Amino acid sequence: MKNIRKICAIALVLSMLTAAGCTGTATTQNADTPAVTADTYTEGDTAKDTDGSAGADIAKDTDGSTEAATNTAEASSAGEDVKEDYAAESAPPRSADADGGDETPTEAYYDDAFDTVAGAVAGEAETAPGAKRTPDDTAYGEPGTAEPDQTQPRPEAGQLTAGEWNDNNNWGFFTNLVNSQTITFPQYGLNPVYRTKVNVVKEDLSPVVNASVFMYDKDNTLIWQAVTDKQGAAYLFAASETEPASIKVQNGSETENLILEPTANDTQSQSFSASDEYTITLKTESKLYKNTDIMFIVDTTGSMADEMAFLQSDFTAITEAVASEGTRYSVNFYRDEGDDYVTKCNNFTDNVSDLQTLLNNEYAAGGGDFPEAVDKILTETMSDGGWREDSVKIAFMIFDAPPHDETAEAVLKAVKEAAAKGIRIIPVVSSNTERETELFARALAVETGGTYVFLTDDSGIGDAHLEPIIGSYEVEKLYDIIIRVINDYKQ
């Protein structure tokens, strides 16, 4: 098939050049030319797992937790290969020949090249695959700006595509990437590497939900605080391997304490492993929350027009799909210092019509430099966001740029407050992002018990989207992922 495409591309180019002759008349691409798409991870197309999540092939442990057995082996064996692949992101995607020969560019790459060459010869001046479009092509929505390039589909309801990946549920895979230095931390103050997972259960091993879990150092200073999720799991993080000394679990009036001892193989160094897991048993029942607070935090700088158009089109439909008594919503916006505004926050409400009006009045503009005021919006929404204590708390953060380097301390403080309140941050990473932003977003999700969502190129909307360094995942509509994630966390 690859050879046929290459031969066809050459023949088409020659025929077009011949037809054009010296008159300069533009020819058009054959309308019958098929449009072929393929994911970079061709081996990664998998169906949803039995628990409703999309992503890696996951085996359930007896305690109900999920660990990526298949993907752990994949990351361990391919660590250096993954690192080299992502160090050469500008090169064409490659795949092995069926007979085991040398790697060759993927069929999707030839498809893109075929269509682009044909369009260029026909005088269509198409942008090369993966190239960044100019701001004039995407900055529509701001008053006075030109309409977008009409060769690009304008975002409408349900068009944007995305993937999802949960590092906490694939911790072996994540650890192998870290150990092979394929990915590195900290990123903008966040370092999720030294994780302690605490499973809180009743005597019958059923999960205890919404219990508070605390981790202290040897001086009894609080290191991290979290809230158990629907599986009874809480994730705690330390700044280094040697800090944790004790764990306390509190559920209503019941309290249990656990003194941490060095693992047997680390007795000499008196250090803890990078990933510990403990189970604590309580007698009291879980108290489930009927209320749900759902927040959307949106970067509204100039590069975010596509994502804003999606939310403006789909917000009301999303609220209708997850509607239940006791559900409130909030929409919040941010840009950066020197823009028309830095943050614009709004209270929680169940009046969807009012929120839709707020959304419709916003447009993408400003930004300038790459980092944005992430620290400011996280501080305002996590610390003073108006969250109810007795509610499931979900925060979708839609953005494409990281915080400023000098704000790392403020970012970490806001994330710690989110974890302590049980706010699950769901980053939705958009187009034109960089690797450091991906890793920052994944750390946000890991440290708050959330999940990582990222847009893909499959919709054909907007600029190129970075392929994350993860295992296999399923491409879905962003609309569907948001609804599924909300329902997964609701109690």
Q: How many CB atoms lie within 10 A of CB 257?
A: 12
The Cα angle at residue 89 between residues 191 and 6, in degrees rounded to 5: 155
The 3-state DSSP class for residue 29 equals: coil
For 59-73, the pLDDT digits (tens) are: 334 343 444 444 544
Residues 439 and 301 in one domain: yes
Q: Which residues of 173-197 are buried (b: 16+ CB within 10 A; e: fewer)?
A: bbbbbbebebbebebbbbbbbbbbb
Do the domain assignments include residue 305? yes
Q: In this structure, what CATH number is given to the domain that contains residue 323?
A: 3.40.50.410
| Helical ranges in 21-100 per DSSP H | 69-87
The candidate with the shortest Cα–Cα distance to 115, out of 39, 37, 33, is 33
d(CA 194, CA 244): 10
215: in domain: yes
Please indicate, yes or no, whether residues 294 and 424 belong to a single structural domain of this protein.
yes
According to the model, what pLDDT value does residue 432 have? 82
Report the alpha-carbon distance of residue 468 to residue 59 in Å, rounded: 22
For residues 88 and 90, what is the distance between their CA atoms, to the nearest angstrom?
5
DSSP 155-167: P-TT--EEEEE-S
Residue 222 in any domain: the answer is yes
Same domain, 127 and 180: no
* Same-domain status, 161 and 15: no
Please name the residues in contact with 342: beta carbons below 8 A apart, sequence gap of 6 or more. Answer: 334, 335, 336, 373, 376
| Residue 274, pLDDT score | 65
Classified as helix, coil or strand, 396 is strand
User: ω before 186 within 30° of 0 (cis)?
Assistant: yes
DSSP annotation of 397? E
- Contact in structure between 197 and 449 (CB atoms under 8 Å): no
| Residue environment code for 204-221, b if the CB has 16+ CB neighbours within 10 A, otherwise e | eeebbbbbbbbbbbeeee
Tell me: do 115 and 235 sit in the same domain: no
150 and 203 assigned to the same domain? no
254, 282, 310: which is the final residue of a domain? 282
Cβ contact 367:303 at 8 Å: yes
Number of domains within the chain: 3
Report yes or no on 94 lying in a domain. no
Beta strand 275-282 with 343-344: parallel, antiparallel or unpaired? unpaired
Question: Does residue 267 share a domain with residue 358?
Answer: no
* 335, 361 Cβ separation under 8 angstroms: no
- List residues bridging with 259 in a β-sheet: 246
Confirm whether 333 is domain-assigned. Answer: yes
Give domain status of residue 416, yes or no.
yes
Last residue of one domain, picked from the residues 282, 311, 346: 282
2 DSSP 8-state letter: H
Q: How far apart are CA 306 and CA 432, in angstroms?
A: 12
| Number of residues written out for the chain | 491
Residue 97 lies in a domain: no
**Contact at 8 Å (CB) between 172 and 214?**
no
- The reported pLDDT for the residue numbered 157 is 53
CATH number at 228 reads 2.60.40.1120
**CA-CA distance, 356 to 316, in Å (whole number)?**
7
DSSP 8-state symbol, 466: P
Distance CA 307, CA 301 (A): 11
Together in a domain, 222 and 332: no
Residues 149 and 208 in one domain: no
Residues 361 and 259 in one domain: no
State which residues form the domain around 2: 1-34+103-131
Q: Using CA atoms, how far apart are residues 172 and 175, in angstroms rounded to an integer?
A: 5
- Is 377 found in the same domain as 235? no
pLDDT in tens, the chain (491 residues): 434 334 433 443 344 434 444 333 333 333 333 333 333 333 334 333 334 333 333 333 434 344 444 454 445 444 444 444 444 443 334 333 333 444 334 444 334 433 433 333 333 333 333 333 233 333 334 444 434 444 444 445 568 999 999 999 999 999 999 999 999 999 999 999 999 999 999 999 999 999 999 999 999 999 999 999 999 999 999 987 667 999 999 999 999 999 998 655 444 444 444 689 999 999 999 999 999 999 999 999 999 999 999 999 999 999 999 999 999 999 999 999 999 999 999 999 999 999 999 999 999 998 878 899 999 999 999 998 899 999 999 999 999 999 999 999 999 999 999 999 999 999 999 988 999 999 999 999 999 999 999 999 999 887 889 999 999 999 999 999 999 999 999 99
Model pLDDT, residue 263: 56
Query: Residue 201: left (phi > 0), alpha (psi -120 to 50), or beta?
Result: beta
Q: Using the 3D structure, point to which of 229, 255, 282 is the last residue of a domain.
A: 282
Residue 199: what are its φ and ψ, rounded to 5°?
A: -100, 120
CA 138 to chain centre: 22
| Tokens read off for 24 | 């300069």
Q: What's the CA gap between 108 and 36, in Å, rounded?
A: 7
Residues 75 and 60 in one domain: yes
Q: Is the dihedral of CA 98, 103, 104, 109 positive or negative?
A: positive
| Inside any domain, residue 7 | yes
